[in-house]
Structure 1
Amino acid sequence: MDFAGASLIADDKLCAAIESVVDAGVDSGYHLLVVQGYSCTKEKTPKDEWIESHPFIVVGRRWIIDYHPNGFEDEEYISLVLTLDDDIEPSVNVQYVFSSVDQSELRVPKNIRQSQSVYLDEHLDGQYEFMKLQSHLGNLLLSKECAHITFEVGGEDFAAHRCLLVARSSVFKAQLCGAMNESSVVKISALY
């Protein structure tokens, strides 16, 4: 499968493209859609709106991926919709796969959703319940409820959860889980 371009969504909007339309010139291709700052995108994009990828061409047809951070029908899901973005007849029979990679350094696809062979005469098809969002943990983090640690950085305080810091960092694990360590303030100073 050949590369058919990339789109970057950051700060709740599509970033400018280097090329206007990428033509893979192949019968099978993939488009990389990168979303930075999902929480910001979800918060700033109204429920019934979406963000379009840059256009790309595969099988001689122009395509766009519609990214719905608040779902197509249910806001607990992320929805992805493949849109045929041209008026060329006849319509086309396609099969597509959407997958997500949570951390780019891992490069292990998760949440893989593959369509059956679909005849696109309506110009769109998608995974309306592509990935369900686990909002409980996110809400806890945003509310600072039950935060056990405070980071003091440049005179400003930031709340954090000990168990999450320990789970994500061996440095914090060593610092926060030492024998009888009950420290609740971590001071961070800049070194010049």
Structure 2
Amino acid sequence: MKLTTMLGAAVVGMVLMTPATQATDWVNISQPPAIKSASELNASFAPTYLDGGQNFVNTDVEPAFQNAAAPIDRLTLAKTEISGYANLQEDWDGYGASAPHSDHVRDSIAFLDRLPGGIAIPTPMIGTSGQIGLYWDMPALYADIAFEGAGALSIFVKNKETAEEKFASVDDLHTLSQDWFAQMLGRGQNA
């Protein structure tokens, strides 16, 4: 037997004699677990196939997320709530509350559409007078806006840390710039 063959056999023998690493808390699985539902494959649709006659054939597989609603962001939720105010009739609260003005609904949604990035989405509100508003109640800031119709609004802002208060009236919300939002609602304390 040659020396290289003996050396090779010795190295192989040493490798084979080294015990394998064992983790006592691991589960030994001899085969992959079976898939139990279509959702495990993240399949949210039923596959469609072509049959021999070039017709589409749907399988019997149901969508895994058939009843799941699409996720809705806070801006969409706020707009939806405000749009719902338009359906309120006189005495909507049972105590004589006025129905909201259609231009207040329109103006509040237009205001939300103008919010720049970095400004938190406000919470909608409606008063018994039918006036629609928005408010922010953040750790460092409180602000509320009242829509007055024809694009006009008024805003009150209070810095909770310094107790500084600001009030402003705007004749046309469509003229608001990103600078106005930053000055009134301050990105740093509101984002």
If the length of structure 2 is used for normalisation, what is the TM-score?
0.26
